[in-house]
Structure 1
């Protein structure tokens, strides 16, 4: 990448991410697959978790792993590791404050307001409530992720204060109003629906084996032209969208034999 490239990422509280990962990666992580329930796993994680086994990176400190960070030899090494990471990623967004994150990101990238119009994807139809006890247990089990999240939560709100909290709240309200208008224009039912209720197969989200049912978006009938294209992009799940971007970047025959 060019030397002046701007890097950003996003983090989520491991107290809720851990429950989501247990559902979404149940089939992929032996530590989760071998546990009868999240409560059983949290009661004795070491009974099910073995480091180094393929797929078990989903089961502990997943965000630390995704950032490629080294295992600290001692707790006092963690602040230095995170300070180094922040120099690479000057803006790290918060999943819990996604709309606020979009505002800060848009201004850092000099994008127009409609560039952050979206429908929130990957919600579950049967997401369970995480109890305060489970949140504490998940943060303790994912202690490196909790340190990572805590660090970037503080840095995020420093960015927000420099931007201006009143200005931030105003722009968040504008994003949400545009989203409501687009949902009324584009979506059958005005919001997310189960995958089996989506007629267009290209708009059905991936359903993880053994995981919760992931909701998607069904378009209204009668949309045409630019309106149909806009609504279709907003409703498109990430895997088909990735394929679309790859075709745009590398051409329609990318990955096929010449």
Structure 2
């Protein structure tokens, strides 16, 4: 792969020399009147915030949110804290808390982090505090800054840190619909769900303790009980009222924004507001959407939803609390402003969907180009957009449907191989080889 990278860089150098006099014919120049003027993430103001931490949660729309952030980071030359080795931190599948030792090393501080983890507040704070040492003041010279960086690196064993004023974001979903989705999506990955494969969700909920054994169930065991609560760093087996309330209070103190899946568009506009971005910065198409049957979404009896709530008391309390606080944030945002920006967001979503993609989504097993094929842990079909022929060389369109593992791959190469001065060269080469 490294040989391919270096050959690609050599080829791109030669191509650049040939085409330098005719930049308008660059193969990735945006096409069309609007595409020719700006990419989705241009035109942000100098006041735009760049530093953000997203805690991904399962089956909540977090992959779509991650894609928005990945595109923004790429276009704006931001460094991203990446898991070493793969798109997941090594310990995550066992349900172990995040450790800074699992991050890829890099040559500079990073601005964003947006992956699945079992959140560990103290561990994250330990490298957040390093950022103040890594940014020079007006009185500093280069050697003094490098010494402070070295002291921080020696203490944390990584050369990375998020800024102390980074915005912390996560996303939650109604446990009733989330648990239904998780049961189907992770039925071959999480042992409690696999045990109940023959009896289905209703059978699992009739006697959940017959199928759920707790941490001894191995990989992804916590997805079968209060999965969101666990990912946020708390004991999913402790559902006492006092413990859950105290945990929610700590979450509220840590995360500046908790998006609610059912109101995703409103949530990303709140994110846009906090980050001082534009509406076009948060345009998206849905990622990792599961295919539903001919009758649309399943409609289990309301009693089944109540059983899910009863089995996931901590997740239910978490969702109810942050659903209420979410609408308080919306009220502060302003009704008229929200209506106006929702209208603008819908316009750009429709514009890019019609300009970039075929009219109908297709199941992931029918995607012929493996670069765009979304991962599915079992036989479930994941519905995906496919590029129009006219958009197959358009970075904006490609980026909107590029799966997480491809973003990880591109960012890994960009951040580990070249210096800042080479980024423009590497960008073109990476887009060519994916």
TM-score between both structures, scaled by the size of structure 1: 0.90
Is residue 188 of structure 2 the alignment partner of residue 27 of structure 1?
yes
CA distance in 2, matches of 1:135, 1:73: 18
Q: Secondary structure at the match of 1:166?
A: helix
Tell me if 1:116 matches 2:251: no
The answer on whether the counterparts of 1:64 and 1:145 sit within 8 Å (CA) in structure 2 is yes
Q: Could you tell me how far apart the structure 2 residues matched to 1:126 and 1:216 are? A: 13
Which residue matches 2:411? 245
| Structure 1 residues 73 and 141, CA gap change in structure 2 (3 angstroms) | closer
- Pick which of 179-188 and 129-138 moved more: 129-138
1:16/1:130 contact within 8 Å kept: no
Which residue is 1:193 aligned to? 362
1:63 aligns with one of 228, 239, 246: 228
Alpha-carbon separation, structure 2, partners of 1:231 and 1:12: 28
What is the distance in 1 between the residues matched to 2:413 and 2:261? 28
Q: Cα gap change, 1:118/1:219 in structure 2, threshold over 3 Å: closer, same or farther?
A: same
2:13 corresponds in structure 1 to none
Given candidates 337, 342, 351, the residue that maps to 1:181 is 351
Q: Structure 2-normalised TM-score?
A: 0.55
Contact kept, 8 Å, 1:195 with 1:205, in 2: the verdict is: yes
Report the Cα distance in structure 2 between the residues aligned to 1:6 and 1:248, rounded to whole angstroms.
24
Deviation at 1:64, TM superposition (A): 0.6
In the alignment, which of 138, 149, 162 is matched to residue 332 of structure 2?
162
Q: Give the alignment partner of residue 16 of structure 1, picking from 177, 185, 188.
A: 177
Query: Distance in 1 between the 2:286 and 2:321 partners?
Result: 25
Number of residue-to-residue matches in the alignment: 248
Instruction: Provide runs of 4+ in structure 1 moved above 4 Å.
Output: none
Distance 1:76 1:195 in 2: 44
CA distance in 2, matches of 1:242, 1:10: 21
Tell me what 1:45 maps to.
208
C-alpha distance in structure 2 between counterparts of 1:91 and 1:246, whole Å: 28
The root-mean-square deviation of aligned C-alpha atoms, in Å, is 1.8
Whose radius of gyration is greater, 1 or 2? 2
Separation in structure 2 between the aligned mates of residue 130 and residue 66 of structure 1, nearest angstrom: 27
Aligned partner of 2:386 in structure 1 is: 218
Q: Conserved in 2, the CA contact under 8 Å of 1:204 and 1:217?
A: no
Q: Which has the higher contact order (CA 8 A, sep 6+)?
A: 1
1:84 deviates by 1.4
Q: Which residue of 2 aligns with 1:232?
A: 398
Q: Which runs of 5+ in 2 are unaligned?
A: 1-161, 419-434
- 2:377 matches 1:208: yes
**Aligned residue for 1:2?**
163
CA contact (8 A) 2:175 2:312 kept: yes
Q: Which runs of 5+ in 1 are unaligned?
A: 253-258
Offset, 1:73: 6.9
Query: Residue 203 of structure 1 contacts residue 236 of structure 1 at CA under 8 Å; is this kept in 2?
Result: yes
Q: 1:59 to 1:42 in 2, by over 3 A?
A: same
**Equivalent residue number for residue 79 of structure 1:** 245
Cα deviation, residue 193, structure 1: 1.5
Counterpart CA distance in 1 for 2:261 and 2:405 is 20
| CA–CA distance in structure 1, aligned partners of residues 385 and 279 of structure 2 | 23
Instruction: Please tell me whether the aligned partners of residues 216 and 237 of structure 1 are also in contact (alpha carbons under 8 angstroms).
Output: no
Which residue of structure 2 aligns with residue 256 of structure 1? none
Deviation (angstroms), 1:174 = 1.6
